[in-house]
Amino acid sequence: MPSFGTIESPVGVIGVVSDGAAVTRVTWRSVAPAGADAEPDALLREALAQLRAYFDGALRRFDLPIDLGAQTAATSAVLSALHDTVGHGETVTYGGLAARSGTTVPARGIGAIMGANPVPLIVPCHRVVAGDGLGGYSGGDPGRGLETKRWLLEHEGALPAGLF
């Protein structure tokens, strides 16, 4: 039975699902998935602690087992390349991530994969940007995606803090 918990963050309430062996979901929704246990397992407690440390500025890389679920080989390669090669405070363009992944996924397809990322923040899709700006972002509270992406990138030092 999966375990579910939440933390308050500067970008909204973050929900995390663990199956005890891996983190399987990270969301900006605080509603537990059907059948989830309200009692956190050890991995969920660790994931929530690491997220708190990240938002406090004390953690730069998550050290958690993740399960991306059923994905195509290309999607798995893209998300793995992002997780493994784009560190805290760095960004990569959609096209750059396509090249790093070793797949034939076009830049536009990379955007769709980022939007379907089951474990944002841990697999840092907010670090993928357009060649001419921030690009899109489906994370964060409804209607606040780009504001959330900008906050995360500023928090990591990848963008200068806003002047206003």
Q: Which residues contact 133 (CB under 8 A, 6 or more apart)?
A: none
Beta-sheet pairing, 128-129 with 92-93? parallel
Catalytic pick among 113, 125, 128, 152: 125
Longest C-alpha distance within the chain, in Å? Answer: 46
Task: Tokens 């940007």: give the residue.
Answer: 129
Tell me the C-alpha distance between 30 and 48, whole Å.
Answer: 13
Cα–Cα distance list, 97 to 16, 57, 75, 151, 161 (Å): 26, 25, 12, 21, 25
24 given a catalytic annotation? no
- In this structure, what token pair is assigned to residue 114? 């980022």
In the chain, which ranges are E strands? 3-9, 12-18, 23-27, 92-93, 128-129
Active site residues: 125
